[in-house]
């Protein structure tokens, strides 16, 4: 599956833009601070993994709605239109229907390897377990659902205590 089109509005320092992608390798180039990483972060949100950092930092300064919007068309065995509204919480939709993150991740398999991920090699075991959880969630959608249910149960337990 590949992203054929990508649209952003009120997303960090990116101006409203439509980016067409080609199948295969696409290069993003530019000066420091021009938005290359922010562009990739938008794709990270669209594929169901959420932002790299704090959600509250995603909308552009002065954005009227206080929300950032990204959308994309992903082509493969079936074309999927994914949109995300981010700010306070993230709302993902596939083909116009609200969709859980785990389902988006299973429909559009993607994984990011970021500079901080070097800790996979020399960091604590918890980082490797987290990476393997994400990888298993891509391969086994039921695992992703169970992982979400477990996380929700832990949050509820913490609230009750």
Handedness of CA 18, 65, 59, 69 (dihedral sign): negative
Residue that is last in its domain, among 63, 83, 108: 108
60 with 120, same domain: the answer is no
**pLDDT tens column, 89-108:** 788 999 999 998 888 888 88
Residue that is last in its domain, among 87, 108, 129: 108
Q: Are 28 and 88 in contact (CB under 8 A)?
A: no
129: confidence class by pLDDT, cuts 50, 70, 90:
very high
| pTM, full prediction | 0.72
83 with 127, same domain: the answer is no
Full domain range(s) for residue 120: 113-161
Residue that is last in its domain, among 89, 108, 127: 108
97 with 60, same domain: the answer is yes
104 with 120, same domain: the answer is no
Degrees, nearest 5: CA angle 4-46-89: 155
* pLDDT for residue 7 is more than 90: yes
151 with 74, same domain: the answer is no
């Amino acid at each position: 599956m590949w992203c054929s089109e990508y649209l952003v509005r009120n997303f960090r320092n990116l101006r409203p833009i439509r980016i067409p992608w080609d199948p295969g390798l696409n290069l993003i180039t530019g000066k420091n601070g021009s938005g290359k990483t922010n562009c990739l972060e938008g794709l990270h949100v669209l594929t169901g993994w959420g932002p790299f950092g704090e959600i509250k930092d995603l909308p552009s300064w002065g954005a009227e709605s206080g929300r950032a919007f990204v959308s994309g068309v992903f082509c493969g065995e079936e074309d999927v239109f994914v949109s995300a509204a981010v700010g306070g919480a993230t709302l993902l939709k596939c083909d116009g229907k609200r969709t859980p993150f785990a389902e988006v991740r299973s429909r559009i398999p993607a994984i990011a390897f970021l500079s901080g991920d070097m800790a996979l090699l020399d960091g604590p075991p918890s980082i490797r377990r987290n990476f393997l959880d994400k990888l298993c969630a891509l391969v086994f959608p039921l695992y992703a659902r169970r992982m979400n249910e477990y996380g929700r149960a832990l949050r509820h337990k913490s609230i009750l205590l």
